[in-house]
Structure 1
Amino acid sequence: MTRSLAAPTRYFKAALAAAVIIAAPAMAQQTSQSPLTDEDMEIVRKSKEIAESAQAAEMPDWLRTDNAKFSAAHQEAKELVQQLQQTDPTMKRMDELAKAKTRFSNQKVVVFASRSLGSQGLKDLLDMASGNPDVLVVFRGIPENANLGEAMLEIQQMAAERDPVPNIVINPVLFTEYNVTSVPTIIVRKEQSVLPGELPEEVARVAGLSNPAWLLRQVEAGTDGDLGVRGPVESISEPDLIELMKKRFAKIDWEEQKRGAVKNFWNKQNFRELPEAHKDRVRELDPTVYISEDITAPDGTLIAKQGDLINPLDVAPFTQAVVVLDPLDEDQVARVKEALPRINQVPGVTRITYIVTRLDREEGWDSYTKTTDTFDAPVFLLTPDVAQRFELEYVPSIITAQGKRFVVEELADRRNEP
């Protein structure tokens, strides 16, 4: 059987992987004003050395940006910094601040609000912001005991009730960066381009007003700075959303969560069961791939041309025997065990891989452990890709390679034979 494909199969791709080299993006450098600790900077410095070392050698191969070692070094450095942004408190906080700042740097006027203003106060404020793209209304968080999803939906609904929809966000970072402690507070910012992670500079502010018209007139007249309190103000009723989330996360029993995840793992698996073989049968499969159009690497190197017939077994030998069975059927297990000495004698077989069609959901990991102990080897679940590639129909099946073909042997159930 010859397959016609516009691109090689996954097995063929793996065999030709050495021919395809993709350069990883370069690392961004840290500025000298970074608040990283000395230990953080040492880790980042080492990661930069990893990337730079790929360019330092003088051999021509090392100077190519599509070279595998160069690509691997850059990728290693990139992954290191990404890992630090997820685990190191300093870098994680820097990354969060940069993203939060950049997202809300376009509006000239920022109005800081809270539910403490009351329904009418919020209505007046949002009516003002509706249709004014230069105004951003900011809340610091959600009520202490509120459900996060429901509170976010409430904010969205307040915005959706108006046409045009005003710009409303929950962003405690803006409250912190502009040192806002009461509402309503209005800040007019410079209309300027800012670097990623930066915020526009404050020109002027006023507290106690819900409409920026007065403040904008003062700015136009050349007045800047803190213009004081011009009306009634309220304390901010919502806690800082980031701090609230930290408190909630701290109360989570993560060990219990992990135990639940482990317990439920097998209940979520999709088993691909196959009928049991009732007669011995041996089938041969030709894995030859017909290339229906040219296949090239990113740099234009031709990997395979249209019309080629390529057999993956010519590219990489298949040195294993794959055993596919239902481990909950004791008779199938017995048949496979009986065949193991013979399988180990097949020319070219250096190891045996066990694939199972199902496990006991109720026993979960105990069922998996029992199966691995039975064969003294790890076991894997049958995937649609493997079932399709080897055209599996019955179990137990034993897959080996002979010459340029795969051989699929099915072992019959002989329990009812005389």
Structure 2
Amino acid sequence: MRFFKAAAWVAFGVSTCVAAQTAEQSTEQLKEQLKQQASQQGNNPLDLPADVKEKMRQAMEGKGEYNIPTGNDGLSHLSDEEREFYQSRMEDVQKNMNKLREKGLLKPFEKETVDSKTKKYEDVAQQIGDHSVSQLEKALQEHVGVSEQDASTFAGSSAPESRQNEPVEYAMFLSFSMTKESIRKAILTAKENGAEVYFNGLHPSHRRIDQTMNLMREIGKGIEDPPIVRFNPTAFEKFAVNKAPTILYREDERHLIASGITSLSWLKSEFDHHEQSENYGELGPTTEVVEKNLIEELKERMANVDWKEERKKTLDSFWERQTYTRLPRAEKTESWVIDPTIEAVKDVRTPRGELVVKAGTVMNPLVNQSVGLTLVVFNAGDIKQLEWVSNKLKTLDVSGTLMLMTSEINEEKGWKHIEALYEHFAMPVYKLPETMVNRFQISALPAVVSTDLEKAVLKVKQFSIDEEKS
């Protein structure tokens, strides 16, 4: 059921939240600007202004203020001599235009050419709008505390297709100032008429989006195949809606709107009787739209965030949120060799489709390598291991690049611990990834992993600190 499954019924899509402003208003404005730009960019070196090009195009079709008469009606007021002269000149003009058309010099002014260029820019504008929606999804997750799934739903990436950007829009504006029963009845009416349902923002008593979502699930419980229900503060602002319920029927730029009733079918039937948009006003009982505009509310919240403090909290809690591969101290010294040869189980290609590695290819990443690598792995929280590494580095035969890796960091000291390690070893100390532990079969610490480029193998050795001392 679209209305409730996995938070997806409220396709509440803030594809109409902050993104609504981008994907509807900004994108439409951009389209209009690009249309004008496209109409001004021809292949003709003269690069005539758009209005002149349009007049020329109309004249070629026998239209507009500079159209070329096809008969003698326009010459009836002239003398025979004048008529003959102008008729001759017009025939010459027509011949010259035909020659220009044959050479393709008039093609930049033709309607099809202008439309094709405009379409290209419209596609770009739509991509910008879509990109804005995806950015909204990320912003909702990071700054408004919305889960990844809900953010995806609100941003419209997992929501059903909305009609608000289509030529025909059929919708009902509701508010939580209405009773739950009246909201439910309105939603059922919208379902029966194939209309969408818009809300301006969160319930006035809610601070989190999931609270409003839960309320809507409660109201809509049991409704099968519900209509699309969205936050759409942009539509509330565009049509100046401040009463609920309000119904809307729009075709392109012409629309009808009425408040206090839910008879969507009546409003649609009235549309053909009006040549211009019309607001019928309040035709029945209404309530005030009490929700804050969701876009403005999000802006206020973002403006009130102390970003320096948030950054500090994030940095301070970074190490507390890390996971570690905790390994015991080695009880005995032992070593082994690992052959890093691998076989490609499928073709590996570049984003362009170029084949890099064919399936079945056997390869060893150490073959033909000229610079080796030595990894010293230890637990930086163990004082004895720290002492052992400090002494070992004085005599260690380093093959190529040297890297230090720790299995653990003191969570309370965090960055100070990292800073202290850097000052002690005069080089960075990295966190040991679990994948490396598994790949090198490390079971205890400290350990040294080094490359043997001559044999194209990895050498791993775990050290018992007590055995080293004895």
Q: Identify the TM-score tier after normalising by the shorter chain.
A: 0.5 to 0.7
What is aligned with 1:236? 289
**Superposed CA offset, 1:337-370 (max 9, x none):** 2221333x44x42x31111111112222222222
1:6-155 to 2 correspondences below 5 Å: 31=31, 33=33, 103-105=162-164, 108-133=169-194, 135-148=195-208, 149-155=210-216
Contact 1:184 1:208 in 2 (8 A): yes
2-structure distance, mates of 1:288, 1:279: 28
Asked if residue 413 in structure 1 is aligned to residue 452 in structure 2, the reply is no
Asked if residue 368 in structure 1 is aligned to residue 418 in structure 2, the reply is yes
Asked if residue 158 in structure 1 is aligned to residue 219 in structure 2, the reply is yes
1:245-260 to 2 correspondences below 5 Å: 245-260=298-313
2-structure distance, mates of 1:394, 1:177: 66
What is aligned with 1:203? 255
Aligned length: 323
1-structure distance, mates of 2:227, 2:347: 52
Contact 1:318 1:401 in 2 (8 A): no
Structure 2 counterpart SS, 1:129:
helix
Q: CA deviation at 1:130?
A: 3.0
Contact 2:379 2:446 in 1 (8 A): yes
Contact 1:125 1:211 in 2 (8 A): no
1-structure distance, mates of 2:278, 2:243: 14
Contact 2:199 2:230 in 1 (8 A): yes
Q: CA deviation at 1:189?
A: 1.4
2-structure distance, mates of 1:141, 1:376: 55
2-structure distance, mates of 1:369, 1:357: 16
What is aligned with 1:180? 241
Please, which of 406, 421, 428 is the counterpart of residue 378 of structure 1? 428
Asked if residue 216 in structure 1 is aligned to residue 276 in structure 2, the reply is no
C-alpha change, 1:414 and 1:109, in structure 2 (3 Å) is same
Contact 1:130 1:163 in 2 (8 A): no
What is aligned with 2:149? none
2-structure distance, mates of 1:292, 1:162: 49
2-structure distance, mates of 1:125, 1:332: 70
1-structure distance, mates of 2:300, 2:345: 58
1-structure distance, mates of 2:341, 2:347: 16
Structure 2 counterpart SS, 1:173:
helix
What is aligned with 1:276? 329
C-alpha change, 1:331 and 1:241, in structure 2 (3 Å) is same
2-structure distance, mates of 1:295, 1:248: 46
Of stretches 290-299 and 158-167 in structure 1, the one that deviates more from structure 2 is 290-299
Of stretches 106-115 and 401-410 in structure 1, the one that deviates more from structure 2 is 106-115
Q: TM-score, normalised by structure 1?
A: 0.67
Please, which of 381, 385, 395 is the counterpart of residue 445 of structure 2? 395
What is aligned with 1:55? none
Q: Which runs of 5+ in 2 are unaligned?
A: 1-26, 35-127, 137-153
Structure 2 counterpart SS, 1:414:
helix
2-structure distance, mates of 1:127, 1:292: 54
Contact 1:187 1:204 in 2 (8 A): yes
2-structure distance, mates of 1:212, 1:342: 85
Of stretches 115-124 and 278-287 in structure 1, the one that deviates more from structure 2 is 115-124
Q: Which runs of 5+ in 1 are unaligned?
A: 1-27, 35-77, 87-95, 191-199
**Superposed CA offset, 1:142-182 (max 9, x none):** 23341322112212332334334233222101112233233
Q: CA deviation at 1:304?
A: 4.0
Contact 1:159 1:166 in 2 (8 A): no
1:286-365 to 2 correspondences below 5 Å: 286-291=339-344, 295=348, 297=350, 301-305=354-358, 308-343=361-396, 345-346=397-398, 348-349=399-400, 351-365=401-415
**Superposed CA offset, 1:49-85 (max 9, x none):** xxxxxxxxxxxxxxxxxxxxxxxxxxxxx9xx98xx7
Of stretches 237-246 and 272-281 in structure 1, the one that deviates more from structure 2 is 272-281
2-structure distance, mates of 1:165, 1:104: 15
Structure 1 counterpart SS, 2:220:
helix
**Superposed CA offset, 1:239-279 (max 9, x none):** 10111122233333333332322222212211112222233
Contact 2:180 2:219 in 1 (8 A): no
The amino acid that maps onto 1:185 is T
What is aligned with 1:59? none
Q: CA-atom RMSD, angstroms?
A: 3.5
**Larger radius of gyration between Structure 1 and Structure 2:** 2
C-alpha change, 1:179 and 1:202, in structure 2 (3 Å) is farther
